[in-house]
Structure 1
Amino acid sequence: MSIPQTPSRVALTTDLGAQGRHFGDAMLRWSDNSVPLGYHPVPVISIRGGAGPVLLLTGGTHGDEFEGPSAILRLVHQLDPAQLSGQIIAIPALNAPALAVSSRVTPLDGQNLNRAFPGDAGGGPTAMLAHFLETAILPLCDAAVDLHSGGKASFFQPCSLPTHCADADLSAQNMALARVFGLPLIWRLGAHNDARSINAAAQRVGVPMIAAELGGGGGVDPGITDATEAGLYNILRYLNMLSGEILLPPQQRVVEVASPHDSLYARGDGIFDRQICAGQDVTQGDPAGWFHYVGEPERASVALHMPQDGVILAHTNRGMVRRGDLLALVVRDVDQDL
């Protein structure tokens, strides 16, 4: 016997069925010292024009990633609902409590929202928010885009992230969205994708979806944010929600994490004296930098080398690192026809 699914405890203050541009909140009710009786607001924007698809845009899933929220807010204030065929549901600060304090995880319970799906209607605030998105919002949508960056800790070469799954048709739709987003690099999520992410939630619901990694460093890069905004307009045009030309780079490269052992990790606590950059092609044995035992200066510094051929998709943005920290994420080219 199947167990009935508990409905979301998160309510909306705006009518998603209303025409035009409307602003409201997802009411995250979590009684704590700061908000004992009210709710923690998660801003939700609906732009509804004529008949057409429904596109979900999310940013700020991690609260120290700002390019996505910036690009979404640019778009929602520029678009004329009368020119739109369909609806945009925009949640620029999905993890609003975390964004308010520039933290990767929420201060409400210390959990990582992008490792909380499918969530739990009766769980803590992060689980409630994940459950709300997967059960109440994603099923309304025909496509979704979730915008990330490396946050304060890391820097990513800008890339789009489609999920490659057993459903060949859904995989093809995901890849099509990744291509029209228009970044030169596509990071295909395969066997190493995390089943607790928004990408995995969209896969379970059957909604074509991409994420994007958009630099990082804890601020807003104007060039990357411009490219992100252009990618969102490309998606709207591809879905026939907006008229105009889709602008693509001359070439696109598809990569994948072949093995976590391809990447470089900190061997102890100290300073990573980096000599590599995101987007760089590397060969096994290439210099990666130096590791300095700054707390034990009598110990000799260690020269670090790349463990495998590939592309550096991301690197740490931290000087001081701890044993086990990811120093460089290495990916390999894959057959684009797969």
Structure 2
Amino acid sequence: IWSSIDFDKDGKQTDCLRLPISTDLSAYGWIPIPAICLKNGDGPTALLIAGTHGDEYEGQIALMRLSRKLKPSEIEGRIIILPALNFPAVRSGRRVSPIDEGNLNRLYPGRAHGTATEMIAHYVTEVLLPTTDLVVDLHAGGRSLDYLPSALIRPGTTAKQQEKLLELLDVFGAPIGLMTDGSGGGGNTTLPAAAESTGALVITAELGGGATLNREGLDLAEQGVLRLLKHVGILPSCDVSAPGPVRIMNGSGTDLLVYAYADGLYEPMVDLGDEVSEGQVAALLHSIDKPYIEPEEIRFARGGLIACKRFPTLVRRGDCLFELMEDLAPRHLQG
């Protein structure tokens, strides 16, 4: 991947990253990944990403807005904006790329000469992350899940780094701040995992779902990003609303996820944001092959707060139905 953007040049540049692709009708072609770079002198670098999954829209629109609104004269340092990082997936409105069926947030650190999606992951890992201080990666639940507006961090590699990450959750201002190691959802193949060796601080947001646009999530994305940019000193004079209270929670552990163990139609018995207890009925699973039998009761293995919920009613064995989170231990107990 290459670009005509000079990331060391002051001012505002708008162009694209060029993802090389060779097809029957375009032997030496490339796919454009829109990119915006704003720089003014020395200072921290923030990398703002949306469109890792193409059917998640709040972050994409928030970064489009910011790319139009922000001016180099207002900043101290550098902002790189990628509103549609996995552009083939964005263009097709899909979670994965139509070119190689690649899920970008399961392919880090990527490969320079791999599939299209692996090349994107490699460019982020090897070119962008080493020069970045703050990464904001904006997500939602896509077609299959609906999320409470929330922000996520991985556990810090040191107590000092973990405290900085917890601070980012407070500044971003999502009602829920979640610490998770990615158990059941990508683990060490995600962007935050790839950034650990570089020292860049990464905060991820989940802003809605169902491949629809959540207005609350959209506003949170824009205001939260501005608060973070002000916090790290890139937008020192930014006039932005103060964050609300943040409930810090834990999301590590596969037993916080609830799955379907058969095909059928799932009837949820709880909703987003509900507090549930161990053994409580989460959903009824109705068999489409044997409609005359009683539905299977699916129960929670642990108690907690429902962070996300499956959107489509038709399910197959192995589909995730719910994800729980639980209150984190006192914040002075650092990893």
What TM-score range do you get, normalising by the shorter chain? over 0.9
The alignment partner of 1:240 has SS state of coil
CA distances 1:215-250 after superposition (whole Å, capped 9, x unpaired)? 111021122101110001101110122114564445
Is the contact made by 2:267 and 2:283 (CA closer than 8 Å) also made in structure 1? yes
Deviates more, 1:109-118 or 1:296-305: 296-305
Match of 1:6 in 2: none
The alignment partner of 2:248 has SS state of strand
Match of 1:7 in 2: none
The alignment partner of 1:82 has SS state of helix
Gaps of 5+ in 2: none
Deviates more, 1:164-173 or 1:45-54: 164-173
Match of 2:139 in 1: 148
Match of 1:312 among 306, 317, 320: 306
The alignment partner of 2:262 has SS state of coil
- 1:331 equivalenced with 2:322 (yes/no): no
Distance 1:61 1:216 in 2: 14
Match of 2:153 in 1: 162
Deviates more, 1:187-196 or 1:24-33: 187-196
Match of 1:282 among 254, 259, 276: 276
What letter is aligned with 2:189? R
Distance 1:36 1:64 in 2: 29
Deviation at 1:152, TM superposition (A): 0.7
Match of 1:272 in 2: 266
Q: 1:41 to 1:250 in 2, by over 3 A?
A: closer
Distance 1:33 1:300 in 2: 53
Matches within 5 A, 1:175-214: 175-190=166-181, 192=183, 194-214=187-207
Is the contact made by 1:53 and 1:239 (CA closer than 8 Å) also made in structure 2? yes
Distance 2:24 2:293 in 1: 47
Match of 2:78 in 1: 87
Deviates more, 1:255-264 or 1:219-228: 255-264
Is the contact made by 1:275 and 1:287 (CA closer than 8 Å) also made in structure 2? yes
Match of 2:115 among 124, 128, 153: 124
Deviation at 1:175, TM superposition (A): 2.0
Is the contact made by 1:263 and 1:308 (CA closer than 8 Å) also made in structure 2? no
Distance 1:191 1:21 in 2: 35
Aligned-pair identity in percent equals: 32
Deviation at 1:260, TM superposition (A): 1.1
Matches within 5 A, 1:2-17: 10-17=1-8
Deviates more, 1:16-25 or 1:239-248: 239-248
Is the contact made by 1:63 and 1:101 (CA closer than 8 Å) also made in structure 2? yes
Is the contact made by 1:56 and 1:141 (CA closer than 8 Å) also made in structure 2? yes
Residues paired across the two proteins, number: 329
What letter is aligned with 1:199? P
Match of 2:224 among 204, 223, 231: 231
Distance 2:258 2:60 in 1: 30
Match of 1:26 in 2: 17
Q: 1:177 to 1:127 in 2, by over 3 A?
A: same
Match of 1:60 in 2: 51
> TM-score of the superposition, structure 1-length normalised?
0.92
Distance 1:52 1:296 in 2: 64
Match of 2:211 in 1: 218
Q: CA RMSD in A?
A: 1.7
CA distances 1:198-221 after superposition (whole Å, capped 9, x unpaired)? 001111211111111111110211
Deviates more, 1:303-312 or 1:318-327: 303-312
Gaps of 5+ in 1: 1-9
What letter is aligned with 1:289? A
Deviation at 1:32, TM superposition (A): 2.3
Q: 1:172 to 1:38 in 2, by over 3 A?
A: same
> TM-score of the superposition, structure 2-length normalised?
0.93
Q: 1:290 to 1:34 in 2, by over 3 A?
A: farther
Distance 1:171 1:302 in 2: 41
